[in-house]
Structure 1
Amino acid sequence: MNYRVIKENDLFLLTDESGNIPADHPYGPGLYTKDTRFLSRLDLKINGEEPILLSSEADEVFVASMIMTNPHIEKDGQIELWRESVELTRKRFIYNGVCYETITARNFNPKRTAFNLSVHMDADFADMFIVRGFQNGELGSRGKTELYDGEIRFTYNGADDVKRETAVTWNDPEAEADENGNLFFALELEHEKEKTIVLTFTPIIDGDRPEGLDPEKALRSLEASYKEWATETTQVKTDHHTLQRLIDRGIGDMRVLLTDLGQGRFPVAGLPWFGVPFGRDSLIAAIQMLPFNSDVAKGTLRTMASRQGESKDSWRDEEPGKIMHEIRFGELANTGQIPFTPYYGTIDATPLFLMLLSEYVKWTGDMDLFAELESNVERALEWIDSYGDRDGDLFVEYHQESSKGIANQGWKDSGDSIVHRNGDYAKTPIALAEVQGYVYQAKVSIAAIYKNLGETEKSKTLQSEAARLKVAFEEAFWMDDAGYYALALDEKKDQVGTITSNPGHVLLSGMFNEDRAKAVSDMLISDKMFSGYGIRTMGIGEAGYNPMSYHNGTVWPHDNSMVILGMSRSGHKYQAAKAMKGLIDSAHSFEYDRLPELFCGYESKGKAVKYPVACSPQAWAAGTPLLFVQSMLGLFPDSLNKTIALDPELPEGVNEIEVSQLRVGNGYLKLLVTRSEGSFTTDVVENTTGFTIESK
């Protein structure tokens, strides 16, 4: 299904390209909030016939528009409506918990023309897990459909004792409605005259009904919020058209994916099915956003801290100090039929929480937030050393305990993703390579913060633990025969030796020595790992390799972005530039130059091959071109020492990049990098940070 999706805060609408919600469609289109479908059918007809779609635009994910016309309609040999005589324009957006739709009918028939429009609706209030076919369970019951003056209201009494309703309103007092969810509008228009019908769709939960506005005022307010976002976000200009579109698209998509559950705005994982907090996804997306808008990191950290694990609960894979994986708010979660309230089955969210906080402090110098979250930091560190390191071997490993949980709990979480070179699947507990890098980076960085605060003993302890981990990692994960690091260690501490992208994440931590950092960087851009459009998740020739597999050969933009930033930080700028160029070149393969969640890992032959069910937009895919900017600049601030490292390298085809409104500490940077005769010239146009710039 080619879909259209719009979102604002915690409400999103998923339709087909015509703007309809087909009833009983297996893809599950609808209007959703709190993991519940509040509208399960929506279709528009003219004189009882389906309009013909002419254009469907979703260039901006906060507003969608479709242009349609009527088919040729005859009845009993008489022309009822000449073909293409009426233009229908649908426009919809979401603001303050209300979905607005305007339907504008314009008559292009030479004569005054009468016709009927009808809208057909229903609401099944299905839990998202049921819509997606993942679960069944004990459910509530559908209530009666209520008719009011200018309003249809669908009702549902949940098994969780929550009353859910969908209110539909319209602006035409002459319209007729029935209890089956049908609306009928009789129109009669002169040549080139038009009439606009305004519909609103409002989810109501336990009587809490968001206040609707005049649609023009609501749209102006929504557009104003996007303009405000632009003014508070770093600006980038480049001479490379595709890269510019990728960056602009990434900034816009990240804005639409922001949600606030009470602790500040954070990026949900992606649309359509992951519009909720995801520990790993939200944290990585916030890392990607640091050079552009660090307030996103603050909201993400506070959201994750507010739901940090409190007790040992095997049903939810919860442990004290652990950062959650995913939270859901629907009927199945509320009644305890699924463990997502929240679910904690992730091995990497806890060190990523510490990484994000330490990187946030490096960018902003905001020690107040560190003080606010210090108890969360201590509990996260305690989890790493106790529950995370299950057997005291210094490595953090995972093992599923929940009967409805996730077996593989790293970012490659599909059941076949951790596979030996002989094709056998690894058995848990499993220690992943990248997770050890996250832990190392977290401990080194938090140690630096403690040192700055005068907490000498805490700092020394963490530094010592990190040093021991580094030695143990080299001994356990390095493979002499392959000249590369293992993907993981299995239950017997045997290497899972498959060549994958996972060790590339460790580059960012600084845990590798110089020679091995180069070996990893070189492997990742070799023919085995590099498709031409990006770094594959698994290398060609490995037992598990499949260019169509979700995690065993495809290309994930966010995976590449973490690797690329690590290459940049470790000084392997050529490798980083090559990987960036591949992803930039892939952009023309996707609608609106929007990098999807993933795509297939075939060698580049004109177009990147789409993965059939990739989320788009997705937060850490949207954030990928934003990390390109930091990597191109080689920009790594350190507010603790009031320095900014700067070491630029532009990919082939990019000759100039200007970055302004770049916030570091309490000031701003404006930088211009240009290519000149094989080298790069950096002009520091503005620096109000008070930090020393250390250029290489």
Structure 2
Amino acid sequence: MRMARTLPASRQRGYSLKDGDSFLVSDASGDIHGDEVADGLFHEGTRILSRLRLGIDGEPLTLLGAATAHDRVVFTAHLTNRPLPPIGDSVAAGKGVIHVERSRFLWQGRLHERIACSNYDRVQVSLPLTIEFGADFLDMFEVRGMQRAHRGSYPQVLAQADRVVLRYAGLDGVERRTVIAFSQAPTALDGGMARFDLELGPREHVTLYLEAGAEVGQPEATRHRRSMAQARRALHGRRRPGARLRGGGLLFDAWVERSRTDIALLASDLPTGRYPYAGIPWFSTPFGRDAIITALQMLWLDPGLARGVLAYLAERQAAEDSSFRDSAPGKIMHETRKGEMAALGEIPFGLYYGGVDTTPLFLVLAGRYFRRTGDRAFIDQLWPALQRAAGWIERSCDADPDGLLAYARGEASGLSNQGWKDSGDSVFHADGSLPEGPIALVEVQGYAWEALRTMASLARERGDMIAAAGWAARADRLRATVEARFWDEDLDFYALARDGAGRMCRVLASNPGHLLYVGLPAPERAQRVVAQLASPRFDNGWGVRTLASDQPRYNPMSYHNGSVWPHDVALCAAGMARYGARRQAARLLGEVFEAATHFDMRLPELFCGFPRSAGEPPIAYPVACTPQAWAAGSVFMLLQACLGLEIDAPAREVVITHPQLPPGVDGLRVESLDVGDTRMDLAFQRIGGRVVAARAFGSEGVRVTVRM
């Protein structure tokens, strides 16, 4: 394995921007290097800009500071010069007299950048500003490390007066290009660098603009400001829907707002509605499971997101069998990708269905969306897709000797593990050996159980009592099988999985926390699961580990075998709260909140599972996606679990059961909560040793029941 060299401080943290099918990752100076990390400007799965480095006479500038604006649209870096080289007989300018403010944003597939240079010396200086650029047009999977036997043409470069055009002819017959345009013609321009020989008098300012994208543009100040305003309005429009949370304190409110903004940033406005892309950089594309869980996290506040997810996934439901794509009629997609390798079929992920849990989760989301909104017309529109999804679950269970929902990949190019823990070593036996398929994961049986119950409930709503009875009976049989096959008295826990030979994977993993989330376990067993998840072998002080610390293959630095995933913690906490363990849920919310304070209020996809040590932060996982949709959404699921808040729109009722607030939060207000045609505010306040809740605003058209 190639060892990465130590990166300078400016490159140890990536800064990201996203708009639609485009995203950009740079270092803190705003530079793109395209070598050690997955940085660059990407569009539709292809890196269209792999190098963009700003310098003075080819030398890098010194970083003063960098930040992304609170609305996550504009990135700004403040830079200064090292000593400027003398020109002729002139005296070199001293260090720290030139200030360069570099700001950028993405809009409609284009990078817009402003470079403002200011001279704070008392004499005129000559500023040889250089911009290095390049485009390797690598597919995202090449950036991730996949090797290809053949590629298209080497990038072709055409330099003109104030712009350069980089072209790549792919093997898929598509010509991809990047046009880098400048607001003024450089002094010198070639296929890899633009040089601007600027003269700045004392206190003088010079501003340059550049744009990079597939289409030709003419960058200048007015166009830059207008495009920035449009980008900000678009993101604000994605943040606007849904209820708001306020009053938790400055830090807590900052975490909530940043999480809400990150979900809006990752969401794209598609013809079917808003859809949250999974995460930057590796997963900035529609995923099925990730989007469904993000929609479930946000459902109580913003059900419109769930509607967009359901509509998009229904349109892409599988209609045929394909071992390459792991598809079968009725199945819901796992992910979709654009780019040359997907178009050529070099990878199956152009439209891939290798997720065993996505289809039942699709039904779970549909049922919970209906309960949250009472939107019968939309469910009627979805009904054929819901029936097809249920049919796939039924056929799959009928083909299994135990009647379970199991998976086995169709071809070696697909995912070997097809639950949410989809790394190759995430499912194993107590001796550490890897099982043969078909594999039935414990939490997937829970999702399938709720999916069947959902279909029974929706069928009753539609007056089809025969179909409802059939689905309800199937759900009962599945529940009985799970309780009989997966519960292990010696473990005092549910087994992780059953392999293709009928052997149980007797491993303590976080997966049964998801079983609590859907409510399958008997109450006495659920309490024993809660106790295990709350113990130090799972809870490291920052959340619930994916694997208990005394298990084989435990590694706190691994992707799935001992790390902490915020969305996984949220599902476990919601499951605990469902069985009355609301204080434990509040404790987990407090732990994850404290972790967020060490990650600049932006929870990463995952972090390492080392035990918490006094005075030390959680340990980052080096290549975690940040932002990640279901990590950002975890605060909302955790908070709903603590508040004990459930919304039944058809019954026009809001029920609050034994509400709790996390440590350090003494009050919270939920504002503009829509239930049917009624809008209300709810207030939660800590008084003495308990938390009280009440309607703070709104009509009496919806009943609010508080169980203390």
TM norm. shorter chain > 0.5:
yes
Residue 119 in structure 1 maps to residue 131 in structure 2: yes
1:577 pairs, out of 570, 586, 593, with 586
Alpha carbons of structure 1 residues 244 and 376: separation in structure 2 relative to 1, 3 Å: same
Match of 1:191 in 2: 202
Match of 1:99 in 2: 111
Which residue is 1:666 aligned to? 677
Instruction: Tell me if structure 2 keeps the 8 A contact 1:291–1:663.
Output: no
The 1:689/1:88 distance shift into structure 2, 3 A limit, reads: farther
Aligned to 1:622: 632
Alignment match of 1:165 (pick from 164, 177, 186): 177
Q: Which residue of 1 aligns with 2:30?
A: 19
Matches within 5 A, 1:323-472: 323-387=332-396, 390-472=399-481
> Per-residue deviation at 1:418?
0.8
Moved more, 229-238 or 581-590: 229-238
1:98–1:210 CA contact under 8 A, matched in 2: no
Question: What is the rounded CA distance, in whole Å, between the counterparts of 1:456 and 1:630 in structure 2?
Answer: 33
| SS of corresponding position for 1:637 | strand
- Whole-Å separation in 2 of the counterparts to 1:230 and 1:619: 14
3-state SS of 1:601 partner: coil
SS in 1 for 2:335: coil
| Residue 315 (structure 1) aligns with | 324
Helix, strand or coil for the counterpart of 2:352?
Answer: coil
Deviation >4 Å, runs of 4+: 75-78, 209-213
Rounded to whole Å, the distance in 1 between the matches of 2:156 and 2:397 is 50
Deviates more, 1:428-437 or 1:663-672: 663-672
Larger displacement relative to structure 2 (141-150 or 393-402): 141-150
Equivalenced residue count is 690
**Structure-2 residue corresponding to 1:684:** 695
Q: Which of 648, 657, 668 is the aligned partner of 2:668?
A: 657
Of residues 234-243 and 74-83 in structure 1, the stretch that sits farther from structure 2 once superposed is: 74-83
CA distance in 2, matches of 1:377, 1:425: 34
Cα distance per residue 1:227-254 (max 9 Å; x no partner): 3344323211133443222211110110
Cross-structure match for 2:61 = 51
How much has 1:286 moved relative to structure 2?
A: 1.3
- Which residue does 1:295 correspond to in 2? 304
- Which residue pairs with 1:646 in the alignment? 656
Alpha-carbon distance change, 680 to 156 in structure 1, aligned in 2, over 3 angstroms: same
Secondary structure in 2 aligned to 1:73?
coil
Amino acid at match of 1:10: D
Which stretch of the first structure deviates more once superposed, 627-636 or 154-163?
A: 627-636
Aligned to 1:283: 292
Offset, 1:77? 8.6
Q: Which amino acid aligns with 2:261?
A: G
Bigger shift: 271-280 or 74-83?
74-83
Query: Could you tell me how far apart the structure 2 residues matched to 1:170 and 1:162 are?
Result: 26
Could you tell me how far apart the structure 1 residues matched to 2:245 and 2:123 are? 52
Alpha carbons of structure 1 residues 354 and 211: separation in structure 2 relative to 1, 3 Å? farther
TM-score, normalised on structure 1?
0.95
User: For structure 1, which segment, 346-355 or 182-191, has the greater mean C-alpha deviation from structure 2 after superposition?
Assistant: 182-191
Residue in 2 that maps onto 1:108:
120
- Of the candidates 80, 88, 102, which is equivalent to residue 90 of structure 1? 102
The alpha-carbon distance between structure 1 residues 130 and 229, as it changes in their structure 2 partners (threshold 3 A), is: closer
Cα separation, 1, equivalents of 2:149 and 2:301: 43
- Partner SS for 2:59: coil
Identity %: 35
Say whether the 8 Å CA contact 1:544–1:552 is kept in structure 2. yes
Rounded Cα–Cα distance in structure 2 between residues aligned with 1:98 and 1:261: 18
Asked if the contact 2:23/2:43 (under 8 Å) is kept, the reply is: yes
Partners in 2 of 1:456 and 1:258 — Cα distance? 38
Residue identity opposite 2:306 in structure 1 = A
Report how far residue 94 of structure 1 moved: 0.7
Task: Describe the shift of the 1:365–1:283 C-alpha distance in structure 2 as closer, same or farther (beyond 3 A).
Answer: same
> How many angstroms apart in 2 are the aligned matches of 1:529 and 1:40?
41
Q: For the Cα contact (< 8 Å) 2:583–2:642, is it kept in 1?
A: no
Aligned partner of 1:180 among 184, 191, 194: 191
Look up the SS of the partner of 1:314 in the other structure: coil
Whether contact under 8 Å (2:295, 2:305) holds in the other structure is yes
Residues 389 and 397 in structure 1, CA contact (< 8 A), matched pair in contact too = no
**What amino acid maps onto 1:425 in structure 2?**
L
Query: Would the aligned equivalents of 2:241 and 2:304 in 1 still touch at CA under 8 Å?
Result: no
Is 1:509 matched up with 2:521?
no
Report the CA distance shift for 1:690/1:458 in structure 2 as closer, same or farther (over 3 A): farther
Check whether the contact 2:188–2:196 (CA below 8 A) recurs between aligned residues.
no
Judge conservation of contact 1:364–1:666 (CA < 8 Å) in 2: no
Cα shift at 1:389: 5.2
CA distances 1:425-452 after superposition (whole Å, capped 9, x unpaired): 2221111111111111122123222212
Q: Does 1:236 align with 2:245?
A: yes
Q: Give yes or no for contact 2:26–2:40 (8 Å, CA) kept in 1.
A: yes
8 A Cα contact 1:137 1:332, kept in partner: no
Compared CA separation, residues 388 and 193, structure 1 to 2 (3 A):
farther
| CA deviation profile, 1:161-204 (whole Å, cap 9, x unmatched) | 111111111212x4245341322222222322212111111135
Letter in 2 for 1:656: G
Question: In 2, Cα distance between the equivalents of 1:411 and 1:210?
Answer: 45
Take 2:147 and 2:425, find their aligned partners in 1: how far apart are those partners?
Answer: 21
Task: Provide the residue aligned with 1:136 in structure 2.
Answer: 148
Structure 1 residue 134: deviation in Å?
Answer: 2.1
Counterpart Cα distance in 2 of 1:56 and 1:389: 57
In 2, are the aligned partners of 1:501 and 1:524 still within 8 Å (CA)? yes
Partner-residue secondary structure (3-state), 2:60: coil
The 3-state SS of whatever aligns with 1:654 is coil
Q: Is the 8 A contact 1:72 1:81 kept in 2?
A: yes
Out of 486, 491, 495, the position equivalent to 1:486 is 495
Structure 2: how far apart are the matches of 1:580 and 1:124?
A: 43
**Structure 1 pair 321–135 and aligned structure 2 pair: CA distance change class (3 A):** farther
For the residue of structure 2 that corresponds to 1:160, the secondary structure is coil
Distance 1:210 1:158, change over 3 A: farther
How far has the Cα of 1:52 moved from its partner? 0.9
Q: Counterpart of 1:188 in 2: which secondary structure? A: strand
Deviations 1:495-528 (A, max 9, x none): 2111111001111212122212211112111122
Change (3 A) 1:297 1:147: same
Match for residue 482 of structure 2 among 463, 473, 477 = 473
CA distance in 2 between partners of 1:317 and 1:581 (Å): 40
Matching residue's letter, 2:601: D
Q: Within 2, Cα distance between the matches of 1:521 and 1:37?
A: 45
C-alpha RMSD over aligned residues: 2.0
Cα distance in 2 for partners of 1:124, 1:15 equals 16
The answer on 1:30 being equivalent to 2:40 is yes
In structure 2, distance between residues paired with 1:78 and 1:186: 15
Kept in 2: contact 1:8–1:256 (CA 8 A):
yes
Distance 1:635 1:210 in 2: 52
Q: Distance in 2 between matches of 1:544 and 1:126?
A: 34
Shift of the 548–34 alpha-carbon distance from structure 1 to 2, 3 Å rule, reads same
Specify the SS of the correspondent of 1:165: strand
Q: What SS does structure 2 have at the residue aligned with 1:598?
A: coil
Pick aligned residue for 1:271 from 252, 265, 280: 280
Distance 1:388 1:108, change over 3 A: farther
Comparing 681-690 with 279-288, greater Cα deviation is found at 681-690
- Would the alpha carbon gap of residues 85 and 509 (structure 1) be closer, same or farther in structure 2, given more than 3 Å must change? same
One-letter amino acid of the structure 2 residue matched with residue 90 of structure 1: R
Contact 1:388 1:398 in 2 (8 A): no
One-letter code of the match for 2:214? P
C-alpha distance after superposition, 1:433-490 (max 9, x if no partner)? 1111111112212322221221222222211111111111100111112221111111
| SS state at 1:376 partner | helix
The whole-number CA distance in structure 1 between the counterparts of 2:642 and 2:188 is 58
Q: Is the alpha carbon distance of 1:88 and 1:454 closer, same or farther for their aligned partners in structure 2, counting shifts above 3 Å? A: same
